[in-house]
A and B are shown apart, each in its own frame.
Chain A
Amino acid sequence: MSLAEPAALPVATSAAPRWHVLKRFTGSVKASLPAYLLLLPSLVFLALFTYGAMGRVFIDALYQRATPKAPVSFVGLDNISAVLADPAFTGAVVNNLIYAIGTTVPSIALALLFALALARTHAVSSALRAALFLPVLIPMVAASALFMFIFLPNVGLLDYYIGRLLPVLPNWLGDPDVALYAIMVITIWKNAGYYMLFFLAGLQAVPEDVMEAAHLDGAGPYQRLRHIILPELKPTFLFVIVIATLNAVTQVDHVFVMTQGGPSNSTNLVLFYIYQQAVEHYDIGKASAATLLTLAALMGLTALSFRTMANREGGS
């Protein structure tokens, strides 16, 4: 509805005087009043628990205290510049970028592969789909606890098997060079099945007649994939990329459970940095400033992706 209205309004202004617009507007409000009334309880809670909290973060980000016993005072953008100057924050951003790219690309590639392999529904593919979707059903905290034992140095499940092949066993979660990649493996394992669902849905939308025509024209499997399936899946891709990127920033339960950002900050991600500032340093100002920066980056990214998506859809 909100998408349709702005498109309709300019047409109306060019065709009729101003009061007409107003009338139309009040008319539409009158018509949708019951809808708004029905939405009111949800809106109240949304305002209280989502936008209220966001507003509070915005205010908190502008205040700071100089010494522990001093009262909080208005400091403007000082908190934001303090966060940007903090090497722990820049470290967390770099880690998060590696983590985002290193988890979205493989998990989306795997998801597409699974979806293509299991697109046709029969008993075996249903069973395999269920198996691949299973990790999604396990809560991240439970999965992390399981993986902690899989990754145990020397005695864990992984070392039990790999130990026969490698002379020196890596300390999966205890080595700053390895820990982030160990964390990434869990994310890929956990999310690939989820993204597979979107691709499966996307594949249903590939027109059957086009595929048949291509078949008759002698297009091979690769050509069909390259020229028909992938272009048809473009909106799905965009959507999954946005979801995966948001997940890479917001789903860090395994960092809390398994490494606490360590060793030596090697698995510290942005959200965990915010948690550390708020809880360990008890520095609400800096935590709020870091939250604002993250929020701004995420909103920018989402807006950009959806605009590209809208453009492409408009073009086709």
Chain B
Amino acid sequence: MLFSRRLMLGLAVIGTMAGALAVPAKAEGPTEIDLFFPVPVDGKLARDMGTMIKEFNETHPGVKATAVYTGSYDDTLIKTRAAIKAGKPPAAVIMSANFLLDMQIENELTNLDSLIASDGSTKEKFLSQFFPALHGNAVINRSVYGVPFHNSTPLLYINADKAKEAGLDPSKPPQTWAELTDWAKKLTKREGDKVTQWGIAIPCAYDYCGWMMETLTMSNGGRYYNEEFGGEVYYDTPSMLGALSWWNDLIYKHKVHTPGATPGPAVSTSFISGNAAMMMLSTGSLTYVRDNAKFNYKVAFIPRNVRNAVPIGGASLIMPAGLEAEKQKAAWTLIKWMTSPEKSGWWSRATGYFAPNVAAYKTPEMVEFLNKNPDAKTAVEQLDVAKPWFATYKTVPVRKNLEDEVMLVLNGKKQPKEALAAAQKAADETLKPYNAETSLKLP
């Protein structure tokens, strides 16, 4: 307590001094802007971001951008909101793509339409640079609020060596839930009652759990949420019931999936160590698997029950509301530069995310990279069937309403049907204030 107070005092003093120094510097020279960026996956992302911003500053003498590391996706939202409240918003932020709607509802985003128009472009032309699956999370009420920066989809990872051992052909990965169940059964090894190798692992921790539920629900023909309106989710529906029941069956009926809720890092570690023969995880983990797996692995589409469909994940570049015109212009230059085909492709190769800019895949560096790492292609191919990431009013609590119930099911404490009914009820309650001023506000 004492230390932290002293630290705060020290920081305050340093802050005032830095502020005093920064103000005169701003009056002359280039426009200074801040870019808030999160590091959601492990690795050397922070260093890569430094390299990128250094190059931007060298090639754009009129702007001096500073990259500010702001923690996880959630932390970045907190810090951005705090900065907006303090009246000093950063000029640009790399924001989790499904937070945009919530921020727009709170009037915290700059509408980018006028900036696109000032370039002599149109919304349609601007958006056509990016994969169609990414438009849903960038456009709200037919206005552009975000520019896709790095994105992901869930993938099925298969330990090819173990598949061969079990007499399965890894070049023909399972395409349906039935085939996947069959594979998982064959890949589970038991000694008496004890399982020594699990057939499949699917992560479930806050954030990941909701994304996996959306993945399974969409593969089962469902929608999870209303893409056009932020006040509705479809939890208590046949498509989600089927999805959760199948997940439940993998654990308690087929006994090929470890019981309980397992976080993402535990799933990837389990796969790398050979304890789980298959896993469903983000493309963002591909670089990690490539660097660490001591066996042959294979990535494939998420299998379907009704149709092939997966949600996207990742982040977009946004501009907070309340920026001065000069900073807005500088930030727009930065955003366009960062999402250009060359930079988009470079970032994709450095991180493992796919590049949202379609043209990035036509650059010679990218063509060469894909020839060397054909597994990186799967995520891009799966984009054809990808759909937006759920985003509602109060996205996080509404998602948590579902996740808490799913965790109970995975722990054998509730049946899927009653869990989903409870989740629906809780989510409807969370969404109530928004509906009260939109869909239920009647003349």
Contact = CB atoms under 8 A, between A and B. Distances in A.
B260 A171 contact: yes
B397 A263 contact: no
B259 interface: yes
Nearest to B266: A152
Given A70-B437, A154-B275, A281-B394, A262 B404 contact: yes
For the residues of B in contact with A, the DSSP-based class is: helix
B105 interface: yes
Contact of A263 (B261, B265, B270, B434): B261
A152 B407 contact: no
A260 B408 contact: no
Nearest to B271: A155
A119 interface: no
B117 interface: no
B273 interface: yes
A221 interface: no
B405 interface: yes
Contacts of B405: 264
Nearest to B436: A67
B78 interface: yes
Contacts of B265: 148, 152
Contacts of B436: 66-67
Contacts of A264: 404-405, 407-408, 411, 413
B367 interface: no
Interface stretch (A21-29, A173-181, A200-208, A291-299): A173-181
Contacts of A69: 105, 107, 437
B12 A262 contact: no
A217 interface: no
Contacts of A279: 74, 77-78
B171 interface: no
B205 interface: yes
A176 B403 CA distance: 13
Interface string B255-280: 00011111101100110010100000
B198 interface: yes
Contacts of B194: 167-168
Contacts of A48: 12
Nearest to A45: B9
B433 A66 contact: yes
Contacts of B9: 42, 45, 49
Interface residues of A, number: 36
Interface string A271-308: 00000100111100000000000000000000000000
Specify which of B204, B404, B413 lies most central, judged by the most chain A CB atoms within 10 Å of its CB: B404
A260 B396 CA distance: 12
A200 to B, nearest CB: 20
A68 B258 contact: no
Contacts of A167: 193-194
A49 B198 contact: no
A104 to B, nearest CB: 18
B177 interface: no
Contact of B12 (A49, A66, A177, A265): A49
B404 A68 contact: no
A153 interface: yes
Contacts of B262: 153, 171, 174
A168 B258 CA distance: 11
A262 B205 contact: yes
A261 B266 CA distance: 17
A245 to B, nearest CB: 14
B275 to A, nearest CB: 5
Interface string B92-117: 00000000001001110000000000
B246 interface: no
B288 interface: no
Contacts of B410: 174
B416 to A, nearest CB: 15
For the residues of A in contact with B, the DSSP-based class is: loop
A50 interface: yes
A167 B262 CA distance: 19
Interface string B109-147: 000000000000000000000000000000000000000
A282 B258 contact: no
A49 B436 CA distance: 38
Specify which of B77, B204, B260 lies most central, judged by the most chain A CB atoms within 10 Å of its CB: B260
Contact of A265 (B105, B106, B404): B404
Contacts of A276: 397
A38 B394 CA distance: 48
Contacts of B403: 262
Contact of B106 (A46, A50, A174, A282): A282
Contact of B397 (A49, A68, A175, A281): A281
A67 B275 contact: no
A263 B198 CA distance: 22
Nearest to B272: A155
B205 A260 contact: yes
B263 A173 contact: yes
Contacts of A67: 433-434, 436-437
B400 interface: yes
Given A262-B407, A264-B405, A171 B261 contact: yes
A280 B400 contact: yes
Contacts of A171: 258-262, 411
Contacts of B22: none
Contacts of B397: 276, 280-281
Contact of A154 (B77, B258, B263): B258
B404 A260 contact: no
A68 B102 CA distance: 10
Interface of B: 5, 8-9, 12, 74, 77-78, 81, 102, 105-107, 193-194, 198, 204-206, 258-263, 265-266, 269-270, 273, 275, 393-394, 396-397, 400, 403-405, 407-408, 410-411, 413, 433-434, 436-437
Q: Which 3 A-B pairs have the closest CB atoms?
A: A171-B260, A174-B260, A263-B407
28 contacts: A45-B12, A49-B12, A68-B105, A68-B106, A68-B433, A69-B437, A152-B270, A153-B258, A153-B260, A153-B266, A153-B270, A154-B198, A168-B193, A171-B259, A174-B204, A174-B262, A174-B407, A175-B260, A262-B403, A262-B404, A263-B204, A263-B261, A263-B411, A279-B74, A280-B74, A280-B396, A280-B400, A281-B397
Given A171-B411, A174-B204, A264-B408, 17 more contacts: A48-B12, A49-B5, A49-B9, A49-B12, A149-B269, A154-B258, A168-B194, A171-B259, A174-B410, A176-B407, A176-B413, A262-B206, A262-B403, A263-B404, A263-B411, A280-B394, A281-B396
